[in-house]
Structure 1
Amino acid sequence: MNAHRLFLAGLALACALLLPDAIAAKAGCKTSAALDERYCDVDRDFVADAPTDPAEWRDPQTLVWAYAPIEEPAVYASLFKVFTTHLEACLGRQIVYYPVQSSKAEIEAMRSGRLHLAGFSTGPTVEAVNRAGAVPFAAKGIGNAVRGYNLIAIVRADSPFKSLVDLKGRRVAHASAYSNSGHLAPRVLFPGEGLSPGKDYAPIMSGGHDKSILGVISGDYDMAAVASDVLERLIERRMVKREDLRVIFTSGSFPTSSFAYAHDLAPPLVEKMKRCFFKFEFTAEMKSEFHGDERFLPIRYDRDWASVREVIDKAGASPF
């Protein structure tokens, strides 16, 4: 990013900081139980509606966007460079990529108005919807199939562990409190296999799926709960050898990261932005990094994130 873009990014973020953090609840507004009181959901699709008053729509000439910090943010800043340029030309606006350092920071940036659109990882998508008014509209996929992934439990290939129950009292890594496969899903799914996080072991927060995987390889952890697609990326980058690890648990499929816009963006801007997303074909580098995914595909949060919301409900509390 050149100096001019850095200046614009700083200006956009500084101006947005002036926005009030709290907005009074709208009198008589129908909403979903999980949504923050500042948002309306008249159509009950579990996401915030656009403001009914056009005076409340935002239509900025500089749009700030980010992608989930699943791994090092710099990796994705480079990977999405061609797409950012495409979006800029397609929309005819300045587009600034903002390398967020954590899911919590990404959600707070959208809530406060500093972030206009973003890719959120699976678990944080739910909190982004409920707390920040994010409206998921796209996910990566091939053909007409949206990308999915699994929670997997991995151990070193030369370890004695054969099943989850063998890990009682051992060193087990979770990625972060905000992660679906890296924390919430294990809390819900592992007990059925005879291993209860918090009771049979104290989860060690590694700070990321990649850190959990590398920690198992190095012997820092006996087992790690991670996302299957992250492991595949590390294998493809030759950072990890498949034969060095064994998978001892695999969950059903979850949706991968969502792409969402702030609910109060002007509807004409949103519709044009969607068209720009859906007509973009991934670069060869993106296809390689995302396991052959070719493009962005439309999604519905109420339908496609039902399994994730169920996990969070069963986990018993918001991780944020």
Structure 2
Amino acid sequence: MQTLSLSRTLISAAVTSAFALVAVNASADLSSRYVDNDGDMVADAPSDESQWADPDTLVFAYTPVEDPAVYAGVWSDFLEHLSEATGKEVQFFPVQSNAAQLEALRAGRLHVAGFNTGSTPVAVNCGGFRPFAMMASDDGSFGYEMEIITYPGSGIASVEDLAGRQMAFTAETSNSGFRAPSALLLSEYGLEADKDYSTAFSGSHDNSILGVVNKDYEAAAIANSVGTRMIARGVVNEGDYEIIYTSETFPTTAYGLAHNLKPELAESIQDAFFSYDWEGTPLEAEFANSGESQFIPISYEENWSVIRTIADATGVTYDCD
């Protein structure tokens, strides 16, 4: 299994040191609704066959974005492939928030999904999410960086300049949109949220980028892969925002399924991801902009260790019950 690579700009030594105080392989914190007898930190499939789900229609949701309708088209060809591979009807569910996506999973209304980096541990522990795939480039490399951005002429040229200014985050469950940048600002720069700078929550990386470009926010923390795709689509232009900080590389959206799907169905869903031919598809057109062209297998225990460490370092707990 591939390990995380580091980008050319590493997260600060002070923050890295703080994170190192927490065990990288944090203990699983699954809801009491689930069991993990094999020790892989994700919920096992029910041993009782009567608890297996075999829906006539599979519901798929991609992590919340500014315009879900755009991504319904992006995923359309893949969902046709998923339908053919499973023999099921497949429906795209345009979720508006991380909370709505998680609640749909917990309630059994969501069967296959892509959860953003920071929401994946919440989905695993509270929703029984079983991640198995991630997007990667042709050579198998993967990941994105957290960036802190501002608009030209804002007067913010460095992280220190955020003191007394406004900072937009996406959602409290987001790694690059909240947890990593808030830890960075406090640990290295001594900037405490809502004390040394004011905060806002936009709901998504798309909204944060547009908010900065339109000067609704003075600065924002974003996943740079989202910015790259927005520029490629012409939603924003090069130079519409400036980057004042770039982090280490983090894993991207995790793709997985509900823990209680019938094992044969779960296997066919996974096979569909790894057998999908991206060439000439809307998925290729969209995600090639951020260098992604295939699905690769992942291990939640290994690939999300740095994310669990950040969550522990920032005091995140999972009160799922």
Pairing 1:124–2:119 present: yes
* Alpha-carbon offset, residue 33 of structure 1: 4.6
Q: How many angstroms apart in 2 are the aligned matches of 1:220 and 1:232?
A: 20
Q: How many angstroms apart in 2 are the aligned matches of 1:142 and 1:287?
A: 11
Pairing 1:166–2:154 present: no
Call closer, same or farther: CA 1:319–1:45 in 2, change over 3 Å.
Answer: closer
TM-score when normalising by structure 1: 0.86
* Alpha-carbon offset, residue 211 of structure 1: 1.6
Residue 201 of structure 1 aligns with an amino acid whose one-letter code is Y
Q: How many angstroms apart in 2 are the aligned matches of 1:44 and 1:90?
A: 29
Structure of higher RCO (CA pairs closer than 8 Å, 6+ residues apart)? 2
Residue 207 of structure 2: which of 207, 211, 217 is its match?
211
Residue 149 of structure 1: which of 144, 148, 160 is its match?
144
1:191 aligned partner = 186
2:314 aligned partner = 315
Residue 286 of structure 1 aligns with an amino acid whose one-letter code is L
* Alpha-carbon offset, residue 119 of structure 1: 0.9
Residue 61 of structure 1: which of 56, 68, 77 is its match?
56
3-state SS of the aligned residue for 1:35?
A: coil
Q: Which runs of 5+ in 2 are unaligned?
A: 1-26
* Alpha-carbon offset, residue 57 of structure 1: 1.5
1:234 aligned partner = 230
3-state SS of the aligned residue for 1:260?
A: strand
- Superposition misfits of 4+ residues, deviation over 4 angstroms: none
What are the within-5 Å matches in structure 2 for residues 11-26 of structure 1?
A: none
Pairing 1:251–2:250 present: no
Q: Which runs of 5+ in 1 are unaligned?
A: 1-31
Q: How many angstroms apart in 1 are the aligned matches of 2:88 and 2:271?
A: 15
Q: How many angstroms apart in 2 are the aligned matches of 1:63 and 1:243?
A: 41
Contact 2:29–2:318 (CA under 8 A) maintained in structure 1:
no
**Relative to structure 2, which stretch is displaced further, 254-263 or 216-225?**
216-225
* Alpha-carbon offset, residue 144 of structure 1: 4.8
2:81 aligned partner = 86
* Alpha-carbon offset, residue 285 of structure 1: 2.9
1:42 aligned partner = 37
Residue 317 of structure 1 aligns with an amino acid whose one-letter code is V
2:98 aligned partner = 103
1:288 aligned partner = 285
Residue 212 of structure 1 aligns with an amino acid whose one-letter code is S
3-state SS of the aligned residue for 2:64?
A: coil
Residue 302 of structure 2 aligns with an amino acid whose one-letter code is R
Cα shift readout 1:169-223 (whole Å, capped 9, x = no counterpart): 1011111222111111112122233133233112111222122112222222221
Q: How many angstroms apart in 2 are the aligned matches of 1:185 and 1:203?
A: 15
Contact 1:140–1:146 (CA under 8 A) maintained in structure 2:
no
Call closer, same or farther: CA 1:144–1:262 in 2, change over 3 Å.
Answer: farther
Residue 134 of structure 2: which of 121, 130, 139 is its match?
139
Residue 272 of structure 1 aligns with an amino acid whose one-letter code is S
2:18 aligned partner = none
3-state SS of the aligned residue for 1:243?
A: coil
Contact 1:151–1:228 (CA under 8 A) maintained in structure 2:
yes
3-state SS of the aligned residue for 2:114?
A: strand
Contact 1:216–1:222 (CA under 8 A) maintained in structure 2:
yes
RMSD: 1.7
Contact 2:61–2:94 (CA under 8 A) maintained in structure 1:
yes
Alignment: residue pair count:
289
Q: How many angstroms apart in 1 are the aligned matches of 2:275 and 2:155?
A: 49
Contact 1:146–1:297 (CA under 8 A) maintained in structure 2:
no
Call closer, same or farther: CA 1:164–1:295 in 2, change over 3 Å.
Answer: same
Q: How many angstroms apart in 2 are the aligned matches of 1:266 and 1:146?
A: 32
Residue 177 of structure 2 aligns with an amino acid whose one-letter code is G
3-state SS of the aligned residue for 1:215?
A: helix
2:298 aligned partner = 299
Q: How many angstroms apart in 2 are the aligned matches of 1:300 and 1:167?
A: 36
Residue 181 of structure 1 aligns with an amino acid whose one-letter code is S
Identity %: 43
Residue 199 of structure 2 aligns with an amino acid whose one-letter code is P
2:177 aligned partner = 182
Q: How many angstroms apart in 1 are the aligned matches of 2:148 and 2:206?
A: 13
2:221 aligned partner = 225
Q: How many angstroms apart in 1 are the aligned matches of 2:230 and 2:111?
A: 30
Residue 300 of structure 2 aligns with an amino acid whose one-letter code is Y
Cα shift readout 1:87-140 (whole Å, capped 9, x = no counterpart): 111111111111111111111111111111111111111111010000000111
TM-score when normalising by structure 2: 0.85
Pairing 1:266–2:262 present: yes
